[in-house]
Chain A
Amino acid sequence: MKEGIISKEYVIPANDFAVAGEASSNVKKILIQLGVEPQAIKKTAVSMYEAEMNVVIHAGGGRAFVEIDEEKILIKIKDDGPGIPDIDLAMQEGYSTASDEIREKGFGAGMGLPNIKKYSDIFNITSQIGKGTLLEITVFFKVKEFIKI
């Protein structure tokens, strides 16, 4: 591990709504402890939770890799799911392939990926059919002097 960087790795289980959100909740706690400003914490928590739920719902689970330094947080969410055939379409608000069961839980309204894009400062998505999807989310911190890693 490089000096000045906090690295974390989380397993995101498939279809397990009982533990869904634990990785983003844990990251949020770390950022609070580091004294990161509330706006950056909210941006991180919302974008990571949405990404986590996508992996739970659509991809049969995956992994989250998190790196925090004095300027930013970088979150990589990787899954080995079916992949996204049309990323532009998936990025459109309101487009969703979620089942009725998922929709009944209050998810699947096609807001996940647009929300991630909206709340991250840098957002990259790459996907291969049959191989999986990788999301890279970066949120920059404004108040650097409070963060001592």
Chain B
Amino acid sequence: MKVEEFAKHFEMNVLTSEETLNKEITGMYICDLLSLVMSKAKKGDAWITVHTHLNIVAVALLAELPCIIIPEGISVEEATVNKASEEGVAILSTNKDSFKVACEAGKLL
């Protein structure tokens, strides 16, 4: 499923540019420990994290994750959004918690 379709289906706010929405989501990974994300997340996973600093973009790029989902309405720093847009990583925002997002996404992915 494309990131754009995923965001629309789950009514998530797209924070990054339109160009970041074309990649394919094939799975999901939830973790706030960056070493573990780099080590364990699979290429194509949508990544749910509460971190919003710039390094999440670097981690998503290295692990080849098409999008980062920020749950619980947590606001994301502008610099992070800009960097993600520049690097082609989508950032989606939702008011739901990680469990709810994963349960819903699990039915589709």
Identify A106's interface contact among B33, B62, B63, CB under 8 A. Answer: B33
Among the stretches A5-13, A21-29, A59-67, A74-82, the one at the interface with B is A21-29
Partner-binding segment picked from A107-115, A121-129, A130-138: A107-115
A21 touches B53 (CB 8 A): no
How far does the alpha carbon of A119 sit from the alpha carbon of B51 in the complex, in Å? 24
In contact, B38 and A18 (Cβ under 8 angstroms): no
Q: For B55, what are the chain A residues with a Cβ–Cβ distance below 8 Å?
A: 17, 20-21, 53, 105-107
Q: Give Cα A118–Cα B39 distance, bound, in whole angstroms.
A: 10
In whole angstroms, how far apart are the Cα atoms of A17 and B54 in the complex? 7
Is A141's beta carbon under 8 Å from chain B? Answer: no
Total interface residues in chain B, CB < 8 Å:
20
Which interface class (under 10, 10 to 19, 20 to 34, 35 or more) fits A?
20 to 34
**Are the CB atoms of B61 and A25 closer together than 8 Å?**
yes
Complex Cα distance A109/B39, Å?
13
Query: Contact at A105–B53, with CB atoms within 8 Å?
Result: yes
Cβ A111 vs Cβ B58 within 8 A? no
Asked if B103 is at the interface of the complex by the 8 Å CB criterion, the answer is no
Q: How far is the CA of A42 from the CA of B39 in the complex (A)?
A: 9
Which are the 9 A-B pairs with shortest beta-carbon distances?
Answer: A21-B58, A111-B35, A106-B34, A45-B62, A46-B38, A106-B51, A109-B33, A106-B32, A115-B35
